[in-house]
Amino acid sequence: MGSDSSSILAPKKPVPAQEEDPPSPTTALLSFNTDSTSSSDSSRKSTATTVVFISLLLVTCVALSAAGAFAFLFFSTPKTTIQTTSSDSVARPLRNLDRPVVLLISSDGFRFGYQFKAPTPNIGRLIANGTEAETGLIPVFPTLTFPNHYSIVTGLYPAYHGIINNHFVDPYTGDHFTMSSHEPKWWLGEPLWETVVNHGLKAALYFWPGSEVIKGSWTCPEKFCHQYNGSVPFEERVDSVLQYFDLPSSEIPVFMTLYFEDPDHQGHKVGPDDPQITEAVANIDRLIGKLIAGLEKRGVFEDVNIILVGDHGMVGTCDKKLIFLENLAPWIEIPADWVQSYTPLLAIRPPQGVEPSDVVKKINEGLKSGKVENGEYLRVYLKEELPSRLHYAASDRIPPIIGLLEEGFKVEQKGNDKKECGGAHGYDNAVFSMRTIFVGHGPQFPRGKKIPSFENVQIYNLVTSILNIPGAPNNGSLSFPKSVLLPSTP
């Protein structure tokens, strides 16, 4: 694999759960003042005090008895609410399928919190009776579509699976990668569909970045691998996936994907807070409902392990949050042909003979001078000096100079008269608005369980654990599935 195949980094641990607030202090008991004002008063008040005390004691006893009776009736009354806590100790047995099946669904750009923008009863059903990352799924950096979708199915950070951006240039050949590049040389690592086929099982993919790439044992078979076509209606995609469950049980693919472009499509146009987002989220929920109904009709809904995720979040951007590279001219000229990506990930590859460290030093001098508009919202690094948590250095495909923008800001080459507000993603994955969702539902997921946020590189091992097949080496933790899934029945 050459320079792109250096050893895999140590697995990143899931984000620990935030500690709960300490319990509220108990309320102090009321105290009675028993001091006598005089010895003569003491005799007169003694009888009255005794009567009052006995009366209060009787009233208290009656109140406690009533409260006890009410509590007995309340807690003994049968409940009809949705199950929200799991009493399962092991995975629930399959009823109508021969072996575990995983259906991995991606709703592109589904920012964590979107599930509260509209009524989402179907997603809510999966959450209430399944397992949810309580504060969202953490994407890998950069928080872009292709790097994240391929990290989900390989368990690798972009530096190791090779898809380091939606668009980039091979520094040795000068070849350009685009989102329609299907040559296997770009796509490193072993995606889940290849792992599944390696073990003599079937996979069926209704769109997923990398699924059309013929690599290793994966041939993208016609009946089980759809060539990407964004004009295919979402309902047709759901119907096609449901048809796989009409096959004889032994022929049903054990791993399937289903992909929707929304609400990312709307988010880029109008930002995360527009009514169009609300409509898109409601539509995704309706599609999930259609899927659930189809699985129930076939008697397999409770047998299928559904994993619903997004690839990244979304944040609003406007013209006032712009940084122009031309404003750095007093310190350094940055020609357009040096820049491989402007925003939200600034990526610069200077030509030979220009030292990257000198470029970084001069750019940051300008940004810190106070004379570059919005300069304080951009910090530029040599890639080796980026925060190690980003895992964004170990590939020659990554340009030597990387700029990190604050949430909502954008970089452009020079000023213009455009007036627009929209949405973007690609920022530091520590930014909360970049988080997306994770919901797992099925026989191997506990009911009503909330888990801490985690990076999406853990999903690969989660799927192979459900399918009970060994996976390829990856950046995820082998112990992670044990913290999420129910153990299999003995």
Question: Distance (Å, rounded) from C-alpha 394 to C-alpha 7?
Answer: 9
Q: Which of 145, 317, 343, 464 is catalytic?
A: 145
Neighbours of 401 (CB within 10 A): 23
Q: Residue type at 477?
A: S
Neighbours of 419 (CB within 10 A): 7
Q: Residue type at 310?
A: G
Alpha helices (H) along 246-299: 264-270, 275-297
The candidate with the shortest Cα–Cα distance to 133, out of 453, 464, 436, 458, is 453
Question: Distance (Å, rounded) from C-alpha 200 to C-alpha 441?
Answer: 25
Helix (H) or strand (E) holding 266: helix 264-270
Question: Distance (Å, rounded) from C-alpha 440 to C-alpha 436?
Answer: 14
Question: Distance (Å, rounded) from C-alpha 421 to C-alpha 410?
Answer: 11
Helix (H) or strand (E) holding 481: helix 480-484
Residue 37 bears catalytic tag:
no
Paired tokens of 156: 């690798």
Question: Distance (Å, rounded) from C-alpha 221 to C-alpha 297?
Answer: 27
Q: Which residue numbers are catalytic?
A: 145
